[in-house]
Amino acid sequence: MAPDMERALLNQHKERHFTAGEVVRDIIIGVSDGLTVPFALAAGLSGASASSSVVLTAGIAEVAAGAISMGLGGYLAAKSEADHYTRELKREQEEIIAVPDTEAAEVAEILSEYGIQPHEYAPVVNALRKNPKAWLDFMMKFELGLEKPDPKRAVHSAVTIAVAYIVGGLVPLLPYFFISKATEAVVISVFITLLALLIFGYAKGHFTGNKPFLSALQTALIGAIASAAAFAMAKLVRP
């Protein structure tokens, strides 16, 4: 096949893989809680006949505290993942040095699980034994299923989740900035928050590979149940 034709075929077959999964996951976590928790809090306080200024004060305080808490949780989760990778990497390095035959047998077993015959995987095993770095990388990926984490992942995760939480949390509070009577502001808050939940749920379904419309309805339903429960509880316990 001519080189020009090979290049043309390669250009036609450019695979487009979605590579921002971790960022999208962080945004989903932040926005999901950011929309739901302050929404429920604002509805509950409105049900207790609190003024819009009280709802705003409590809501903004909750958004700030929630963003810090969620961001810290994201940081610790990513840091824990990185620490786990480092521990396993060190253990695998020691095993390759201490028991190379056992590790080589594990490589053979992994390859055999893909239907590769002994005479086919033997050269691969021998080649890996001559290249410790590639051997270690192979064992981390195919034996343990671990990918090397981004060293900046923990900070990026914390910031992404915190910002997403703030963005989501401000949506249900917006009407209280402009309407002094909380019982009126809550009606607008319910409308715009449910709309935001529908849009967010649709986008979440699209990016995660689920049915977008079903995801939108489920997300909005969860938010509606949370706010209704908070509103009803406030009405019941109000003096």
Task: Give the predicted TM-score (pTM) of the model.
Answer: 0.74
pLDDT number for residue 230: 66
Instruction: Give the count of beta carbons closer than 10 Å to the beta carbon of residue 92.
Output: 20
pLDDT band at 72 (very low <50, low <70, confident <90, very high): very high
Given a cut of 80, whether residue 166 has pLDDT beyond it is yes
Label residue 16 exposed, middle or buried (CB < 10 Å: 0-12, 13-18, 19+).
exposed
Reported as a single tens digit per residue, the pLDDT across 14-26 is 445 444 577 888 8
Among the listed residues 48, 38, 24, the one whose alpha carbon sits nearest the alpha carbon of residue 196: 38
Q: What angle do CA 45, 200, 184 make, to 5 degrees?
A: 30
Given a cut of 60, whether residue 87 has pLDDT beyond it is yes
Q: Is the dihedral of CA 156, 161, 166, 168 positive or negative?
A: positive
Which one has a higher pLDDT value, 49 or 166? 166
Label residue 190 exposed, middle or buried (CB < 10 Å: 0-12, 13-18, 19+).
buried
CA–CA distance from 100 to each of 95, 128, 145, 170, 231 (Å)? 7, 11, 20, 57, 64
Which one has a higher pLDDT value, 3 or 55? 55
Reported as a single tens digit per residue, the pLDDT across 7-62 is 544 454 444 544 457 788 888 888 888 888 888 888 878 777 778 888 899 999 99
pLDDT number for residue 5: 46
